[in-house]
Amino acid sequence: MDSNPSVTATTVIPGRLWQPPVGASWQIVLSQSIVASDVPTITPDVDVYDVDLFDTPPETIAALHARGKHVVCSYEAWRTDAARFDNGDLGSALKGWQGENWVKTGSPTVRAVMTSRIQLAASKGCDAHRPGKRRRLNCVEFLASTAAGYKMSIGLKNAGDIIPSVLSSVGFSVNEHSELNAACNSSGTKGFSTVIKKMSLDKWVQYCNDQKAN
């Protein structure tokens, strides 16, 4: 099932900042740009669109808002501004993801880059931001407090083991896994919002009720 991983998202805390409610419907598009002119007839008609921070123009986000959608802006450490990282900021390679490395989240340079990304998300009108995998508690707290200053919540990615420690800061969690049957049929996913995606994270999507869109 590696070609069709599922992505499960759920709210973890209440708060003043926007966060997706339990049971909200999702679409995640990170490898294709959504054009603003396509939004009036866009499918699927879901509550939350999770899009790429760098590739999605503010006009598209505004058009999604006009249709009553909320927008999560996602990014990974390797984006174009990664050239700002010092050599000493890079850690070991991220297994299974060619060209990606862990970064030293306590580095002042790394935190400056992360702050710039949060500012970019705010300038585009994102409702929340979802950085790549972060497991250091102090890093998550830093990103959450910085984003809150711009009236945005933060979501975790594949870091469910630290949720109990960051409940006061994190607005939702996205968990990726590659077992389709487990995603849709497991009792452990009750109350979660599940979407089935290709590894490319393009516009194709399927839901547990067999509804599809492309």
Instruction: Report the CATH number that the domain containing residue 112 is assigned in CATH.
Output: 3.20.20
Task: Determine, yes or no, domain membership for 172.
Answer: yes
Task: Determine, yes or no, domain membership for 90.
Answer: no
Domain span holding position 161: 6-76+108-213
Q: What is the mean pLDDT of residues 89-101?
A: 73
Token pair of 155, please?
């979501």
Q: How many structural domains comprise the chain?
A: 1
Task: Determine, yes or no, domain membership for 38.
Answer: yes
Task: Determine, yes or no, domain membership for 85.
Answer: no
Q: What is the pLDDT of residues 189-202, one digit of tens each?
A: 677 888 989 888 99
Q: Which amino acid is at 72?
A: V
The more confident residue out of 105 and 26 is 26
Other CB atoms within a 10 A radius of the CB of residue 179 amount to 12
Task: Determine, yes or no, domain membership for 87.
Answer: no
| Highest mean predicted confidence (pLDDT) among 5-19, 55-69, 190-204 | 55-69
Rounded to 5 degrees, φ, ψ at 71 are -125, 125
Residue 47 has pLDDT above 70, yes or no: yes
